[in-house]
């Protein structure tokens, strides 16, 4: 909404506007003055680095941070030895937190050599009061800390940081606000994440997300569609609709809309070639959605359907609200309607009270469902969640042993699933030039499988029918073939 020239209309002599996002554009303009001063002093633009931990939602948030930094005049880099570094953190498992603390130590080393450097932290980990206490006590060199609910205020908070010497901390407990229309810097010109909802109300007993991302809020369909139309006009051919539980999209809107209906409307956007979405909660996946996927030319043949455990007893303890049998029945219905669909999942090993028999049930489930891929996680105790207070925590050695056993089966199954496509011609969206093999590019099939083919940078962002010549474990080597060679012709290779 704000083009370059609109900044000229912002009068910094006046008080900042109170409405959003106008207020943030005021602060972008104000920060630009600091960048000008920096340039005069150093004869170069300041450099900024945004480092992302965690999920696709965080990746999208980082694009928003980068967009604001770019508008302010920072040169974006991946080098953390920069003038401004921000860590967009994750706290879903404890190892993510530990990595942040480790990396902060390194940043402190850079800051000693460049005292003008500013260090910022944001994201899920910052919503935990114990983390803030620890940072205040032992990481005094951090300049700015904010959370998930006020990310849209980044320009304003950065301005406060540039104007002060002390640590700026601004964390909100929750919000019902969605502020849109701020600058975004996309990592890929041809594909983009699109938030359709924020927060989560499911309260799975192991999960910290509902506490750090707040209550579930859906964006209005008109706003989502308008954003996608603009993205398409800007060269995007693939969108990934993002939410913690997209299947419950739209329930709390003034005029309720189902996720399936939203997909129908997104599908109608001309010029858009592919639609993905993440993540589906099995308890809310409707037959209407299966039908929409089945009939669609654009929705990719991939469903991420977190299982978490194959034992009904553990699922109950996890508050997942489905049984092993219900999950299997759902998969049966999906595969019956959409036979070429790839199903991937998340599994947690070592949830409190999990016995070797429970794990056997999970392993059996992997064999039955034949996942195309599964992300396996060791259970991590998250303070404040109901599972953290459960008494029967599984000893670490048992958790690790179970994890390794599960991983073996997951890999076997994934290999078998991948091999089934050998010799097919399917459409791939070329995503990047292959860094390690000169003369090759890397693409992604509708079912999310990766394929490497001979090619060059002119192919990036375009769709090509590709012959899958050789399966190498989880990915393929292949080659582009003339368009009429594509199996059943459709853009999804159907």
Residues that bind ligand SF4 (CB under 6 A): 200, 202-204, 207, 209-210, 244-245, 281
CA 158 to chain centroid, in Å, comes to 24
Smallest gap from Cβ 206 to ligand 5AD, in A, equals: 4
Smallest gap from Cβ 270 to ligand 5AD, in A, equals: 34
**For ligand SF4, the closer CB: 88 or 245:** 245
**For ligand SF4, the closer CB: 215 or 367:** 215
CA 417 to chain centroid, in Å, comes to 25
**For ligand SF4, the closer CB: 77 or 175:** 175
Count of positions on this chain that bind ligand 5AD (CB under 6 A): 12
Q: Is 306 in the site for ligand 5AD (CB under 6 A)?
A: yes
CA dist., res. 276 & res. 272, Å (int): 11
Residue of minimal CB distance from ligand 5AD? 346
Binders of ligand 5AD among 176-215, rule CB under 6 A? Answer: 206-207
The DSSP result for 134-200, as a single string, is: HHHHH-TT--EEE-STTGGGHHHHHHHHHH-SS-EEE--S-------------SSSSEEEEE-EE--
Look at the chain and count its residues: 494
Binders of ligand 5AD among 359-388, rule CB under 6 A? Answer: 377, 379-380, 382
**For ligand 5AD, the closer CB: 27 or 403:** 403
Chosen from ligand SF4, ligand 5AD, none, partner binding at 340 (C-beta under 5 to 8 Å by type): none
Chosen from ligand SF4, ligand 5AD, none, partner binding at 148 (C-beta under 5 to 8 Å by type): none
Chosen from ligand SF4, ligand 5AD, none, partner binding at 159 (C-beta under 5 to 8 Å by type): none
The dihedral sign for the CA sequence 266, 267, 272, 278: positive
Q: Is 142 in the site for ligand 5AD (CB under 6 A)?
A: no
Burial pattern 446-466, b for ≥16 Cβ within 10 A else e, equals bbbbebbbebeeebbbbbbbb
CA dist., res. 202 & res. 209, Å (int): 9
Smallest gap from Cβ 350 to ligand 5AD, in A, equals: 8
- Nearest of 23, 15, 17 to residue 153 by alpha carbon: 23
Partners of 144 in the β-ladder: 120, 168
CA dist., res. 369 & res. 359, Å (int): 15
- Nearest of 301, 381, 372 to residue 348 by alpha carbon: 381
Smallest gap from Cβ 382 to ligand 5AD, in A, equals: 5
- Applying CB under 6 A, the residues found at the interface with ligand 5AD are 92-93, 206-207, 306, 308, 346, 348, 377, 379-380, 382
């Amino acid at each position: 909404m704000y083009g370059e020239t609109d900044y000229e209309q912002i009068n910094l002599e006046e008080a900042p506007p109170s409405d959003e996002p106008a207020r943030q554009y005021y602060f972008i303009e104000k920060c630009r003055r600091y960048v000008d001063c920096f340039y005069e002093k150093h004869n170069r633009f300041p450099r900024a680095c945004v480092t992302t931990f965690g999920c696709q939602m965080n990746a999208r948030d980082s694009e928003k941070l980068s967009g604001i930094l770019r508008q302010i005049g920072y040169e974006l880099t991946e080098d953390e030895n920069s003038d401004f570094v921000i860590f967009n953190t994750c706290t879903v498992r404890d190892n993510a937190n530990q990595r942040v603390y480790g990396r902060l130590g390194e940043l402190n080393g850079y800051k000693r050599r460049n005292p003008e450097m500013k260090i910022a932290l944001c994201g899920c980990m910052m919503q935990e009061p114990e983390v803030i206490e620890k940072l205040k006590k032992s990481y005094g060199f951090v300049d700015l800390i904010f959370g998930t609910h006020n990310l849209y205020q980044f320009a304003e908070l950065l301005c406060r940081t540039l104007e002060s010497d002390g640590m700026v901390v601004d964390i909100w407990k929750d919000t019902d606000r969605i502020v849109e229309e701020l600058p975004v810097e996309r990592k890929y010109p041809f594909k983009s994440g699109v938030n359709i909802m924020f927060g989560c109300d499911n309260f799975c007993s192991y999960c910290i997300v509902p506490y750090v991302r707040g209550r579930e809020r859906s964006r209005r369909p008109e706003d989502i569609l308008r954003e996608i139309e603009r993205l398409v006009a800007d060269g995007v051919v693939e969108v990934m609709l993002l939410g913690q539980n997209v299947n419950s999209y739209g329930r709390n809107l003034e005029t309720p809309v189902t996720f399936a209906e939203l997909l129908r409307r997104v599908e109608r956007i001309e010029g858009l070639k592919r639609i993905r979405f993440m993540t589906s909660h099995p308890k809310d996946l409707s037959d209407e959605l299966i039908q929409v996927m089945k009939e669609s030319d654009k929705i990719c043949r991939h469903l991420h359907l977190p299982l978490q455990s194959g034992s009904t007893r553990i699922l109950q303890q996890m508050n997942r609200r489905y049984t092993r049998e219900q999950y299997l029945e759902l998969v049966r219905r999906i595969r019956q309607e959409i036979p070429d669909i790839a199903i991937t999942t998340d599994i947690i090993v070592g949830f409190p009270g999990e016995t070797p028999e429970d794990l056997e049930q999970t392993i059996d489930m992997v064999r039955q469902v034949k996942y195309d891929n599964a992300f396996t996680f060791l259970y991590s105790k998250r303070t404040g969640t109901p599972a953290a207070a459960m008494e029967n925590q599984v000893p670490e050695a048992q958790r690790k042993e179970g994890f390794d056993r599960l991983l073996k089966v997951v890999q076997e199954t994934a290999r078998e699933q991948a091999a089934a496509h050998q010799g097919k011609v399917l459409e791939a969206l070329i995503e990047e030039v292959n860094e390690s093999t000169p003369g090759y590019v890397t693409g992604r099939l509708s079912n999310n499988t990766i394929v490497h083919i001979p090619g060059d940078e002119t192919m990036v962002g375009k769709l090509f029918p590709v012959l899958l010549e050789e399966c190498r474990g989880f990915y393929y080597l292949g080659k582009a073939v003339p368009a009429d060679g594509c199996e059943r012709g459709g853009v999804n290779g159907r």
